């Protein structure tokens, strides 16, 4: 693995920590541009947790994308499926009742 893979890994881990700490809400796409009314309907703690998990998982899997062609396809599929799950949960579980 190249140095760039470790840089991406570190960046994703740091961004996940920043979001979990509550200092990176402006980095969450959609939440950043939502109006006050829409933001009030979102449970931000749950949304932060979902985004941080996705960042951690993507960061850990990202260096494996460079290993071998068939392995990289499997890791890419895992990241895509995880992203779809996070989008679904962000629109259901992370919403206030």
Is the CB of residue 6 less than 8 Å from the CB of residue 63?
yes
What is the DSSP track for 26-49? GGSTTTTT--HHHHHTB-HHHHHH
Residue 55 domain boundaries: 3-92
pTM: 0.85
pLDDT tens string for the chain (97 positions)?
Answer: 678 888 888 999 999 999 999 999 899 988 888 899 999 999 999 999 999 999 999 888 877 777 776 667 888 888 899 999 999 999 999 998 7
Q: Is residue 36 part of a domain?
A: yes
First to last CA, the chain: 45
Q: Is 77 within the bounds of a domain?
A: yes
- Structure confidence at residue 96 (pLDDT): 87
Residue 97 forms part of a structural domain? no
Number of structural domains in the chain: 1
Q: Is residue 83 part of a domain?
A: yes
């Amino acid at each position: 693995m190249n140095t760039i893979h470790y840089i991406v890994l570190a960046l994703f881990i740091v961004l996940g920590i920043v979001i979990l700490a509550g200092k990176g809400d402006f980095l969450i796409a959609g939440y950043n541009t939502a109006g006050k009314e829409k933001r009030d309907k979102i449970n931000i703690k749950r949304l932060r947790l979902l985004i941080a998990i996705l960042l951690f998982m993507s960061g850990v899997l990202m260096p494996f994308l460079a290993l071998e062609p068939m392995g990289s396809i499997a890791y890419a599929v895992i990241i895509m499926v995880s992203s779809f799950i996070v989008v679904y949960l962000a629109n259901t579980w992370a919403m206030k009742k």
